Amino acid sequence: MAATDLNIDHVARLARLALTPEEKAAFARQLGDVLHHIEQLGKVDVSQVEPTAHAFPVVNVWDADEPRPGLPVEVALQNAPRQRDHMFAVPKVVE
Amino acid sequence: MADALPHRTIADAAARLAAGTLSSVELTRAVIARTQAVEDRVKAFNSRDESDALVQAAASDARRAAGQALGPLDGIPVGLKDVIAVNGQPLTASSRMLANFVSPYDATVTARLKKAGAVLWGRLNLDEFAMGSSTENSAFGPTRNPWDLTRVPGGSSGGSAAALAAGCALATLGSDTGGSIRQPAALCGVVGLKPSYGLVSRYGLIAFASSLDQIGPFARTVEDAAIMLGAIAGHDPLDSTSFRAEVPDYRRALTEKKGPWRIGIPREYFGEGLDPEVGAAVEQAIAHYRAQGCEIREVSLPHTQYCLDTYYIIATAEASSNLARYDGVRYGHRAEGVTDIEQLNSRSRAEGFGAEVKRRIILGTYVLSSGYYDAFYLRAQKVRTLIRQDFLNAYRDVDVLLTPTSPVPAFKLGEKSDPLAMYLCDIYTIGVNLAGLPAISVPCGFTRAGLPVGLQLIGQPFREADLLAVARHYEQAHDWHTRVPAL
């Protein structure tokens, strides 16, 4: 769990965040401090411990298989930055 | 000032409304007037719609005149943190990303408040996407603490706490992922309740960390918090993590449950970093319970020192996943002048998110990334098990736990510029979220400088009725909660 492993360019790409060089430098330093703090978790013996995803696990939540009205197309598109023919418009994805 | 209409409790206003000596329009007008008088200094609101509030108030009065009043919240102005959806109204999360977003539906808590007749009034400021402990991370500027305008109200639900303390609503809703209701409640001198995970539906709440987030009320008294909780609690099929828990009459439980209780004092919560004046006020509260015949027992939560790290791994991991939806495609900010889809995603997010949100997305993406998942995320989930077990072990010997809510009273704006220093504000509140427990912050004194101090009581899972009764027992013997800031 070495804090120096944080490759900010790689992680920013994974997170789809176009960071400025200034942001990259600042975040790398600040998160270095946080990760250094986090390293102490390595001291805990968790070899016999199951992970907790939710405090009160709820399993098998079934719902009746009945159609219900959803958002009308116009409402679903009301916050779209750009739309065309009842669809979200984006730059060309496939050449 | 405490007699003025905007500073009344829900219980008091509801009694007057029922008796016909007060109308909802009159009450709502008074709250609007108070807001107009103080908002340029407090800055608790992201948006507010006065004519819409008065229409709701008039509808409440008409219901009452027709003999169809809905209950104690009918006609009461209630403010909402700006992460809770109201159909047709702005919903920003205090982010540029959602500056122009309009909710296409109601959150479940919104629908339930409407059903209870509440007058929904204003969207309240927060740290962007609920990430922070001071409300300074809002893209629209910080909220001020009504007790000292040079200080923060706490966060992330700072607007909800400040608006209530300033008399701009009779109650408000916030959300609490690591202390975001309890800490601002403590810093602003009001009651703040974080319910058990799953008691209140998260449907229509903008997600931060889904295994930790809970909606809960801010109120002037424990009784008012009980009224609010009764209105919003209960199973909801629209939230698959919603728990099928019994919802008792919390208000009635306040008078039925009389104690004495066994109260545990976790020794790890009274160590280094605790402000001496905060510590002294909390010791006074312990002395109160002891004098009232409660058994005070020191207990240990041995993994407390790991709560902060566990929290910042789990919360950022979940946030990085939840916030992936802000991609510039379907809603939210979209960057101009981009030619391919990855650029559109990356630049829209870079322009839409503020610094703290970006930092947490980076951290969360890192701890989930290939090669690090086991060392960070999986390990944190295992330590979470130990933290939760600590609490459950303690409850074999005691009914509730008592701690300070925040290690320090309200700090100055700009005082905590280092992220890690800000994260340390949450050391007494985050364990509760990791364990999914209910907890409440209640005013328990003031510092010599006149800043409020909060007492945290932590209850057993889904035992809110007992927790509220213990809190009410303290509140009834003190008058801290009746004080009003001189704005």
| pLDDT at residue B82, as a whole number | 98
Q: Is residue B224 part of a domain?
A: yes
pLDDT over 50 (residue A3): no
| pLDDT grade for B61, boundaries at 50, 70 and 90 | very high
Say yes or no for a CB contact (<8 Å) between A49 and B306. Answer: no
| pLDDT at residue A59, as a whole number | 80
* % chain B with pLDDT above 70: 100
Say yes or no for a CB contact (<8 Å) between A14 and B435. Answer: no
Q: Is residue A34 part of a domain?
A: yes
Chain A contacts in chain B segment 34-93 (CB below 8 A): none
- What's the average model confidence in pLDDT over A49-71? 87
| pLDDT at residue A2, as a whole number | 43
pLDDT over 90 (residue B418): no
| pLDDT grade for A60, boundaries at 50, 70 and 90 | confident
Mutate one of A52, A68, A79 to test the B interface: name it (highest B CB count within 10 A): A52
Quote the mean pLDDT of chain A. Answer: 89
Residue recorded with tokens 């696990």: A57
Compute the nearest-CA separation of A28 from chain B (Å): 9
Q: Is residue B44 part of a domain?
A: no
Identify the closest residue of chain A to B461 by CA–CA distance. A56
| pLDDT at residue B56, as a whole number | 98
B378 interaction partners in chain A (CB closer than 8 Å): 51
Q: Does B343 touch chain A (CB under 8 A)?
A: yes
pLDDT over 90 (residue B171): yes
How far apart, in Å, are the Cα atoms of A92 and each of A88, B308, B338?
Answer: 12, 44, 11
Q: Is residue B442 part of a domain?
A: yes
Q: Does B474 touch chain A (CB under 8 A)?
A: no
pLDDT over 70 (residue B92): yes
Residue recorded with tokens 């545990």: B264
Q: Is residue B30 part of a domain?
A: no
Q: Report the C-alpha gap between B449 and B16 in whole angstroms.
A: 36
- What's the average model confidence in pLDDT over B313-321? 98
Amino acid at B73: L
- What's the average model confidence in pLDDT over A60-77? 90
- What's the average model confidence in pLDDT over B287-301? 97
Closest CA to A73 of A60, A84, A61, A87: A87
Tokens representing residue B93 in the block:
């999360």
pLDDT over 70 (residue B221): yes
pLDDT over 70 (residue A4): no
Identify the closest residue of chain A to B315 by CA–CA distance. A53
Burial class for B291, CB neighbours closer than 10 Å (0-12, 13-18, 19+)? exposed
Residue recorded with tokens 């309240």: B124
- What's the average model confidence in pLDDT over B366-383? 94
The answer to whether the beta carbons of residues B461 and B196 sit under 8 Å apart is yes
- What's the average model confidence in pLDDT over B10-19? 98
Residues of B designated catalytic: 81, 156, 180
For B95-120, write each residue's pLDDT tens digit. 999 999 999 999 999 999 999 999 99
Q: Is residue A17 part of a domain?
A: yes
A34 interaction partners in chain B (CB closer than 8 Å): 312, 363, 419-420, 423
Say yes or no for a CB contact (<8 Å) between B382 and A49. Answer: yes
Domain that holds residue B207: 78-264+397-482
Domain at A15, CATH number: 1.10.20.60
| pLDDT at residue B1, as a whole number | 55
Q: How many domains does chain A have?
A: 1
Q: Is residue A61 part of a domain?
A: no
- What's the average model confidence in pLDDT over B218-222? 98
- Bridge partners (DSSP) of residue B219 are B171, B191
Identify the closest residue of chain B to A45 by CA–CA distance. B383
A20 interaction partners in chain B (CB closer than 8 Å): 350
| pLDDT grade for A9, boundaries at 50, 70 and 90 | very high
Domain at B194, CATH number: 3.90.1300.10
A56 interaction partners in chain B (CB closer than 8 Å): 196-198, 243, 436, 461
Closest CA to B191 of B450, B9, B386, B441: B441
pLDDT over 60 (residue B446): yes
Compute the nearest-CA separation of A43 from chain B (Å): 10
Amino acid at B10: I
Quote the mean pLDDT of chain B. Answer: 96
DSSP B344-388: HHHHHHHHHS-HHHHHHHHHHHHHHSTTTTIIIIIHHHHHHHHHH
- What's the average model confidence in pLDDT over A16-34? 94
Mutate one of A13, A38, A54, A94 to test the B interface: name it (highest B CB count within 10 A): A38
Better pLDDT: B391 or B417: B391
- What's the average model confidence in pLDDT over A46-68? 87
Q: Report the C-alpha gap between B271 and A49 in whole angstroms.
A: 28
| pLDDT grade for A63, boundaries at 50, 70 and 90 | confident
Q: Does B369 touch chain A (CB under 8 A)?
A: yes
How far apart, in Å, are the Cα atoms of B190 and each of B341, B395, B430?
Answer: 47, 27, 19
- What's the average model confidence in pLDDT over A80-87? 96
Q: Please give the helix or strand (H or E) that residue B469 lies within, else none.
A: helix B464-476
Q: Is residue A70 part of a domain?
A: no
Q: Is residue A29 part of a domain?
A: yes
| pLDDT at residue B423, as a whole number | 87
Q: How many domains does chain B have?
A: 1
Its sign, for the CA torsion B177, B182, B184, B185, is positive
Say yes or no for a CB contact (<8 Å) between B347 and A33. Answer: no
Helix, strand, coil percent values for chain B (each to nearest 5): 45, 15, 40
Domain that holds residue A22: 3-43
Q: How many residues does chain A have?
A: 95
| Strand-strand pairing, B400-404 and B262-266 | parallel
Q: Is residue A77 part of a domain?
A: no
pLDDT over 90 (residue B476): yes
Q: Is residue B107 part of a domain?
A: yes
Our CA angle for B356, B172, B449, nearest 5°, is 70
Q: Report the C-alpha gap between B59 and B65 in whole angstroms.
A: 10
From the list B241, B309, B320, the residue facing A38 with the nearest CB is B309
- What's the average model confidence in pLDDT over A42-49? 94
| pLDDT at residue B424, as a whole number | 87
| pLDDT at residue B103, as a whole number | 97
Closest CA to B85 of B70, B64, B62, B102: B102
| pLDDT at residue B473, as a whole number | 96
- What's the average model confidence in pLDDT over B371-388? 95
pLDDT over 80 (residue B140): yes
- What's the average model confidence in pLDDT over B203-228? 98
* % chain A with pLDDT above 70: 96
A24 interaction partners in chain B (CB closer than 8 Å): none
| pLDDT at residue B412, as a whole number | 98
Q: Is residue A32 part of a domain?
A: yes
Count of CA atoms in the C-beta half-sphere (13 A) of B261: 28
| pLDDT at residue A61, as a whole number | 82
For B223-263, write each residue's pLDDT tens digit. 999 999 999 999 999 999 999 988 999 999 999 998 899 99
